[in-house]
Every structure is written in C-alpha cells, then in structure tokens.
Chains A and B, each alone.
Chain A
C-alpha cells in the first residue's frame, strides 16, 4: 500500500485523501477494538491504487499484443476512466452546491444517466470506426514498462507474505 500510494504522489488529491484514510481508519478501528479489520483497508486502497497506476502507465500496445482483439475493450475502458473520474468530481460539486448531503442514490443518478449516454455513443463509434477484421499479431515479449509493473506487483506480493497484518 505504501509503495502504491507513493507512486500516486503526483495526484495530490488522491495522495492526501488516501493518507488521511489510512491514518484515520487505523485509529478508528483501534478505538473500537477492530484493528483486525485494518487489513481490508490496506487491501482496498492497494487495489484501487493499482488501477489508477495501471491506467496511467500501461502501454496500450502491450495489452493488444498480449490479448489480441479481446484487449480492445480494456484499452477503451482505460480511455474513459479519467473522464468518469472528472464526471464524479463535477457531480459531487453540483450536489454540494444544491445542498444535497451524502446521498449515494441521488448522486448516482446523473452518473448512471451519463454512463448510458456514453455507452450508446460508444456503440456508434465502435461500429463505424472499428470496421474490418482485427489483424494484430500476438507478441508476448514484455517491454520495459511491463517489467517495471511486474516487478512492483511481485514486490508487493512478497511483502504481503513477509509482513502479514
């Protein structure tokens, strides 16, 4: 978790929020004698961070080389993560401006509508742009960025075994 949080230092908002979540959740869980649940906080933050990191670092060509046409939806999904992140921030801001407190059902409505709109338009883009037969050759030889990510993943895995909480 520490390694992945450190890798997100450029994203100040996420960086600060996660440090605060990490610290406060430890103290809150300890206060209620539930420190044994802290491992789930750590895992959740690590998985979320890995998603953020992979979506920035991953070489899209590598995904297509390794997975072929099955990798195309992944590439497209990665292109939309920043947009939906921005959208979530906007909706949260608008909800706050309207005096709507923490109400996940109300806040999720505009996000769901937007997701459906994006899906409809994306179907059109998929249809008119990705015509023809996919013809990329599989290439499983890892590139430098792949090796870095693999190394980080292995280190995190080993650390989680060596230092279990």
Chain B
C-alpha cells in the first residue's frame, strides 16, 4: 500500500487498484504527486515504511504532465539503453507499448505515442506504483484510448478531466480544502462536477443574431467564412491540420495558439493589453494588471491572451485548442468570454478536438471525416 499524507488529508493506493485524485487547477494535485521527491513537508509511506528514508524509485515512479520535458533520449530504444546502465529494465514492456515506434524519434510521434513513450519508459523499471499527473492533457479521444489501455494497476491518476478516467477508476479522491474519498457515481453528475471545478460537462450554444460576413479566406484545407458574432469551429483529431489552417489565417485574423507561455512577450498584463484600461476592466484583469503573465494560472493566461486579442481591434479572433489546460471553472469563465466577444460582434474561430466545447459552435468545419 502506498500512502501520501499531507496537511489536507491522505490518499491510499493499493497495488491492485487504479485510484483517481480529482481537483481543479491549482488545488495541489501535482504538489501531492511530487511528494515522492521527498522535498516537501508531506509524508510518503510505502508498505508501512517511510519511503523518503531510502527513496527507492524502483518501487514508486512519477510521470508529469508534459511529456516533452521528461525524455532522456531521442527514442524509446535509446532511453531504455540508458536506463539499463543504471538498473534492471524490462525492454519488452517498452517494445510492446511502443510497437513500431520503438526506435522512432520522440518529436515525430503523435501526441498519444509521446505520452506512451514517457509512460512506457517509466514502466520499464517495473515500479509497483505509478503516479500519473494529468496523463490525458491535450489528447483527442483516439490518443486518450491509446494511453488508457497501458495504465497498469497500482496507479494514482491526478486529473480534472473526469470523463476520460471515471470508467477505469476503482476509487476516487477529491482534493479541495481537504482530501475526501467520494462515491464514483458522483462523477456522472454534471452539477457536482461544475460545483467542484471539474471537467465532464458540455458547453451549450450562445444564442445570438449573426451579422454580416467579416472574412472569407481559402486555406489549403478549407474555406473559412466568419460572420459577426459567429463561432466557427474547426474540428478533427490531433494532427489533421487545424493548427496549420490557423497559421494560414495569421495576418487576417488574430490567432491565439495553443501554448500560452510561448505567446507572452511583455512583463506585465497591462503591457500585454497595450495599456487599455477598458479592456482590463472588461476582462476582470484590473487586479492582475501589474502581474507577470507567466505567474498566472492557465485560465488566467487564456483570459489575458483573449483580452490582448480584443485590444488589437481585430474583428476575428481564432483560438487553437483553448480548452486543453482548462478545468471546469476556467471553462465556464471561457464561456463568458466568448459570450462577451459575440456581444461585441467579433467573429470567433475555435480549432478543437474537445467535444465539451463543440456545442458552442454556430457552424462547424470538420477537417477529419472520421472524427
């Protein structure tokens, strides 16, 4: 049995179960999983003994959210070879999980296989317990299935994406002001999910009158026409060309790409929105105007990016997978921002594979007929 004890309570994982640790962004899920690094006040008890006395990572391992910053070699094969110079590894586990991509370069893999890369190289050391931090972040339903099938027993999964994990959990904890074990049935209750800042509910369409056409552009994949107050969605699985299509619209449309941290070039929120007091008030950013954008939560960062898009004066704003890092609260806040943009008669293009937000779309272009 693995037990992680914090000031908010404790979480237990048995070798034969998959346990969920749910909580909104910022609730402390990652901090809790990182207890196994033994540099916090939290206690980790493994089979009755203090894990931090010996820190035996052959028994407990950890996989964080971003796969690209956890690789130790260019291919899974090279990484297994590197690991084998330190301890015993089971190469077959990695070969089975990666299949034909065993010796393919990490950057050339699909999102699902990138995640499989980091999980399989962790499982190669045959730990008894694995802690996974948001393993389904930014995965479409196909990639999610590719990752779900390799998660072993003895796993603790920290997530706010409830739909992706509720059918695979044996038990589940909710992390808020305290840690509480909850009934799995609650994970099917949308009101429960909304009230606790979790994902698993769908956004509905914002009724509004559509105005005149603002842009009409032919890209390589589709013809993009957007009217005032319209939400046009480009949908399809990862890799189908949504981002490429948006890149072709740069110059005609203000595009907000996927990773907010790569799109801040100023030192304060105020500078990002070009000093516009009206924009700061409109987007509830007055209390954050002197803060560095990098210090904000994911939802707040998206708010700043959308505010700066608004401040640019561009009639059409495009967003590339805006909901990937959002918990339930951020999603509801995002809904309000889209409502505001519609009221201001801006056109909105959303490229997404997230079925939770497709309901918001006034019109849809499906770039992938199999989606």
Q: Which residues of A contact B (CB under 8 A)?
A: 60-61, 64, 72, 75-76, 78-80, 82-83, 86-87, 90-91, 93-98, 100, 103, 106-107, 109-110, 113-114, 117-118, 120-122, 124-136
Alpha-carbon separation in the docked complex, A78 to B266 (Å): 30
Q: Could you say which of A64, A72, A94 has the most chain B C-beta atoms within 10 Å of its C-beta?
A: A94
**Do A64 and B62 form a contact, CB below 8 Å, given A93-B247, A110-B264, A129-B72?**
no
Is A131 a contact of B87 with CB atoms below 8 Å?
Answer: yes
**Do A130 and B83 form a contact, CB below 8 Å, given A117-B66, A125-B71?**
yes
Q: Mark B257-280, 1 if CB is under 8 A from A, else 0.
A: 101011111110000000000000
Q: Which residues of B contact A (CB under 8 A)?
A: 34, 36-37, 55-58, 61-62, 64, 66, 68-74, 78, 81-83, 85-87, 105-107, 121-122, 125, 247, 250-251, 255, 257, 259, 261-267, 294
- Chain A residues with Cβ under 8 A from B122's Cβ? 128-129
Alpha-carbon separation in the docked complex, A6 to B147 (Å): 41
Among B55, B68, B266, B294, contact of A83 (Cβ-Cβ < 8 Å) = B68
Is A94 a contact of B73 with CB atoms below 8 Å?
Answer: no
Is A128 a contact of B62 with CB atoms below 8 Å?
Answer: yes
Is A127 a contact of B74 with CB atoms below 8 Å?
Answer: no
A82 to nearest B CB, angstroms?
5
Alpha-carbon separation in the docked complex, A126 to B263 (Å): 29
Is A131 a contact of B107 with CB atoms below 8 Å?
Answer: no
Is B73 a contact of A75 with CB atoms below 8 Å?
Answer: yes
Is B107 a contact of A64 with CB atoms below 8 Å?
Answer: no
Alpha-carbon separation in the docked complex, A37 to B262 (Å): 36
Nearest first, the 7 A-B pairs at minimum CB distance are: A132-B87, A121-B69, A131-B57, A125-B70, A136-B85, A106-B265, A132-B86
Among A107, A110, A124, A135, contact of B37 (Cβ-Cβ < 8 Å) = A124
Is B82 a contact of A72 with CB atoms below 8 Å?
Answer: yes
Is A110 a contact of B83 with CB atoms below 8 Å?
Answer: no
A108 to nearest B CB, angstroms?
10
Alpha-carbon separation in the docked complex, A110 to B292 (Å): 12
Is B105 a contact of A82 with CB atoms below 8 Å?
Answer: yes
B44 to nearest A CB, angstroms?
13
The SS class assigned to the A binding surface is helix
- Chain B residues with Cβ under 8 A from A126's Cβ? 72
Alpha-carbon separation in the docked complex, A159 to B125 (Å): 48
Is A109 a contact of B73 with CB atoms below 8 Å?
Answer: no
Is B73 a contact of A131 with CB atoms below 8 Å?
Answer: no
Can you name the residue of chain A whose Cβ is closest to the Cβ of B70? Answer: A125
Is A109 a contact of B82 with CB atoms below 8 Å?
Answer: no
Alpha-carbon separation in the docked complex, A80 to B56 (Å): 27
**Do A83 and B37 form a contact, CB below 8 Å, given A121-B69, A125-B72, A130-B86?**
no
Is A124 a contact of B64 with CB atoms below 8 Å?
Answer: yes
- Chain A residues with Cβ under 8 A from B251's Cβ? 97
* A93-B250, A121-B69, A130-B82 given; 19 more Cβ-contact pairs under 8 Å: A60-B74, A64-B85, A79-B78, A79-B106, A82-B105, A90-B262, A94-B262, A94-B263, A97-B255, A106-B266, A110-B262, A120-B69, A124-B70, A125-B70, A126-B72, A127-B37, A127-B57, A129-B72, A131-B55
- Chain A residues with Cβ under 8 A from B74's Cβ? 60, 78-79, 82
A13 to nearest B CB, angstroms?
16
Show 30 A/B contacts (Cβ-Cβ < 8 Å), sorted by A.
A60-B74, A64-B82, A75-B72, A79-B78, A82-B74, A82-B105, A83-B68, A83-B107, A90-B257, A94-B263, A97-B251, A100-B265, A109-B267, A110-B262, A117-B66, A121-B69, A122-B69, A122-B70, A124-B37, A125-B64, A125-B69, A125-B70, A125-B71, A126-B72, A128-B61, A128-B62, A129-B57, A131-B86, A131-B87, A132-B87
